[in-house]
Amino acid sequence: MRSDKFSRSLMRENQLTSDDLILPVFVLDGIKKNEPVQSMPGVSRLSLDLLLKKIHEAQELKINAVTLFPVIEDQYKSENAHEAFRDDGLVQNTISAIKKEFPDMGVITDVALDPYTSHGQDGLIDKNGYVLNDETVDVLVKQALSHAEAGADVVAPSDMMDGRVGAIREALESHDKKNIKILSYTAKYASSFYGPFREAVGSKNNLGNASKDSYQMDPANSDEAVHEALLDVNEGADILMVKPAGLYLDIIYKIKKEFNKPTFAYQVSGEYSMLKAAAQNNWLGEKATVIESLLSIKRAGADAILSYFAVDVAKWLRDDSH
């Protein structure tokens, strides 16, 4: 059965299509701004006018959803992250513009405070630098509601605070936003592979040498991920997320098997940068290794994958089908 292309295709258990891909994008304030992310070759921070062109390209390639990550200027960052829930903030205006121009494009928004805090943490902190759970949840609810009011289809709390899914679900229900989906970062690990992302959104310098170990998951644990997922399911999460993806295939498999709910995975910035660097040095073939990496994530049980390779992969899949 492996001896011929046709028979290999007939017995193939998993297929990768553009329907499996979600494109993460970085948006910044201004016009005609394109700022390459040094540690992520091929990825740029874009102003809204250029971002809309990028989204048009993605839609033409049959990518059905994008995830927004804001780049907030330092003067708008604060201890209490008040910029996160401003009605006419960068993300809120971007959501409205995307839905106006591309009503069928799914818009997923990141609900977390690290782009907005002067200290780079995902939540509010006390005088000792400890992240305060309940106080943070109050702000996250305001942020999620502002995204929903602007037209977001999915709000994605990525902060890992306890109880935030239930609080956001209750707020959405009480504000007549019942059909807004919650994509919970249910198993977000305190990974060393987020460095390029933090550079991209500008939180790297703010965070400094501080860690997020007190609220993100220990990479050594897997049973804890199931416990976290159970909490989120019971609180009303519609989709469960595992982050990172490639190093946590066992977690994807475990959560999908245990709950049989829509399960997404995030091929994070460090995973992207490693593959990109190896390809640029001709150590690996980019197309083959990227597609293999995504297939492995899907094989583990992911229903959809956030990947900075989404546009490139969609082009490769389109060309291969012709």
Chain segment 210-233, per-residue pLDDT in tens: 778 888 999 999 999 999 999 999
Residue 313 contacts by C-beta under 8 Å, 6 or more apart in sequence?
16, 18, 21, 290, 291, 294, 307
Residue 175 in tokens: 């504000």
Domains identified in the chain, total number: 1
Distance (Å, rounded) from C-alpha 154 to C-alpha 106?
8
Active site residues: 188, 243
Residue 298 in tokens: 């899907």
Distance (Å, rounded) from C-alpha 246 to C-alpha 267?
7
Instruction: Quick: pLDDT tens for 118-162.
Output: 888 889 999 888 899 999 999 999 999 999 999 999 999 999 999
pLDDT greater than 70 at residue 207: no
Instruction: Quick: pLDDT tens for 219-272.
Output: 999 999 999 999 999 999 999 999 999 999 999 999 999 999 999 999 999 999
pLDDT band at 204 (very low <50, low <70, confident <90, very high): low
Residue 230 belongs to what domain range?
Answer: 15-321
The pLDDT score that the predictor gives to residue 120 is 86
H-assigned helices in 128-201: 133-150, 164-174, 195-201
Distance (Å, rounded) from C-alpha 169 to C-alpha 311?
32
The pLDDT score that the predictor gives to residue 234 is 98
Residue 183 lies in a domain: yes
H-assigned helices in the chain: 5-10, 48-60, 90-101, 133-150, 164-174, 195-201, 204-207, 223-235, 249-259, 269-280, 286-300, 310-321
Residue 3 lies in a domain: no
Closest to 237 in 3D by CA, of 130, 164, 135: 164
Residue 8 lies in a domain: no
pLDDT band at 45 (very low <50, low <70, confident <90, very high): very high
Torsion of CA 73, 54, 93, 63, to 10 degrees: -120
Residue 5 lies in a domain: no
Q: What is the CATH number of the domain that holds 180?
A: 3.20.20.70
Distance (Å, rounded) from C-alpha 94 to C-alpha 92?
5
The pLDDT score that the predictor gives to residue 184 is 98
Distance (Å, rounded) from C-alpha 124 to C-alpha 117?
8
Q: Which amino acid is residue 101, in one-letter code?
A: E
pLDDT band at 76 (very low <50, low <70, confident <90, very high): very high
Q: Which amino acid is residue 282, in one-letter code?
A: N
Residue 304 lies in a domain: yes
pLDDT greater than 70 at residue 286: yes
pLDDT greater than 90 at residue 208: no
Residue 262 contacts by C-beta under 8 Å, 6 or more apart in sequence?
238, 239, 240, 303, 304
Closest to 213 in 3D by CA, of 237, 195, 188: 188
pLDDT band at 86 (very low <50, low <70, confident <90, very high): very high
Q: Enumerate the β-bridge partners of residue 125.
A: 131
Distance (Å, rounded) from C-alpha 206 to C-alpha 185?
23
Average pLDDT score over the chain: 95
Q: Which of the two residues, 209 and 180, has the higher pLDDT score?
A: 180
Q: Is 13 annotated as a binding residue?
A: no
Sign, CA dihedral 200-118-187-166, equals negative
Distance (Å, rounded) from C-alpha 311 to C-alpha 257?
29
The pLDDT score that the predictor gives to residue 65 is 98
The pLDDT score that the predictor gives to residue 180 is 98
pLDDT greater than 80 at residue 301: yes
